[in-house]
Structures are given as structure tokens and as C-alpha cells.
Amino acid sequence: MGGHALFDLTGKCGYVTGGGSGLGRAIAQGLAESGAAVVVSDINGEAAETVAAEIRAQGGRALALHTNVALQTDVDVLVQTTIEQLGRLDFAFNNAGILKIVRPEDLNEKDWRDELDIDLTGVFLCAQAAGRYMIAHGGGKIVNTASISGMVVNSGLTYSVAKAGVIQLTRVLALRWARHRVYVNCFSPGYIRTGMTAPHVARPEVEQEMVRQTPLRRLGEPRDLVGAALFLASAASDFVTGQNLVVDGGVTLA
């Protein structure tokens, strides 16, 4: 017995930034398994191609693209390539991000700007470019990756500020673009085991504390975000916009 038709993405096309690893890789693969054609976008072009090749090997449709989301020109190429190569842009997953843990008193201006450029400005540039196309072509689904770090204080200063900005950016764009049937939502992962978090989780005392703070008593895995991604990209969320879907194993309940 197949999955519910509301989650069927057959014939839908879009991109995933940061798709070469971690959450982005899992999301790109999940979208493809539900029938979507996907541009796997990443600043690491080789990683993006590896994921795209994995999708194609499973019978899906995917291509890879090197993208620095902090550059307007790269973002424009991403959207245009998706449209030209896949035929349309139905969904946009703005997922690329970086994480630096630096004490506020030691944070320098360059690190502050570099992280904001990727984690907040990059999300805005991608959402703006995707939104322009969707407004002109009858709508679409924009999904931004935020974090519980945008809701509670548990991480680096710049990362937390950027992710709080992503949540509010999502709300503002959702309100402005609702009349165009452009749905804008975000999701906030909790403690997820990825390449980005690996240097921190590698310390046993840090992992133990993360698990202790998580009522489900385990760290999340990238696959734990796939269901949320499919919901927000599909017809299943056609009456949902401006929302922050928290996927954190219960961390923010306390």
C-alpha cells in the first residue's frame, strides 16, 4: 500500500541548499523518494554531486550545483538552473548553514559577519529569489531551516541570533506572500547528530548533556527531519504558513 496522496511529490521540482550532507542530504533524498526532482545545492560541489548520484542510482531525478548562498549571483544561478533544468520551481529548501561556538567576549567582527551571511542573509536571498518566481507562477512552498537555538539560549551567539532571525523572516514573508499562495514555513531541529555538530557531540560530556535535556532521551538523526520536510513541501500543508515546526525530541518543553 502506497503513501498518502497528500504527501506525493510526483512531478514537483525544487532545490535543497546545504544538500551535500547532514539534514540537507536526508531531505533531498526524502523529497526524491516521494517523487520530486531535486537540485542538490552545496558550497561543496563534490558532496552535492555525490548526493545527486545517490538519488539517481535509486531511480530519482537530481542534479548537483555548487552554490555559496551568501552571494546574490550564486543564488540567482541556483533558482534559474532549477527552472531551466527541471522545468519549474515548486519548493525551495533554504537549509545551508554554519555553526561556530565562540564566547561573546571573544567573537570578532569577521566571524560575526561570516556566520550571519550564511545563516541569515543566505536564507533571505534564497527565499527572495524563489519567492519572486513563485509569485509570478501561481505559488509554491518555501521552507527555511531554523533551530531551537533561535528560541532558547543553548548555542553560539551569532548562530542563535541568525536562527531567531530566520524564524521572524519566515513569519514576515508568509504574511506578505500569502495572497500569492506562496507558503513560507520553517522548522527548528533540536540536537541532531550531523557533520556540523560532530565536533561538539564528540565530547562525551556534551553528548550526555544534550541527551539529558531531550525528553525522548536520544539525539536526533537527519532522518528525523524528513517527515517534517515532506509535510511542509507537499499538499499536506496547504493550510499552513508562517509556522515554525519544532522537531526537537521535547527539548523546548521545559
For residue 151, which amino acid is it? M
| Nearest-angstrom CA–CA distance, 218 and 216 | 6
> How far is 245 from 254, CA to CA, in rounded Å?
17
Long-range contacts of 82-87 (CB under 8 A, 24+ apart): 82/13, 82/14, 82/15, 82/39, 83/133, 85/39, 86/13, 86/14, 86/37, 86/39, 86/61, 87/13
Q: Looking at this protein, which amino acid is placed at residue 217?
A: R
Compute the distance between CA of residue 143 and CA of residue 134 in angstroms, rounded to an integer: 13
| Grid coordinates given for 238 | 496547504
Write out the H or E segment, with its range, that includes residue 247: strand 244-247
Specify the pairing of strand 140-145 against strand 91-94. Answer: parallel
The closest of 149, 151, 131 to 141, measured between CA atoms, is 131
| Residue showing cell 545527486 | 52
Say if CB 27 and CB 92 are below 8 A apart: no
**Cβ(220)–Cβ(248) under 8 Å?**
yes
Tell me the catalytic residues.
Answer: 159
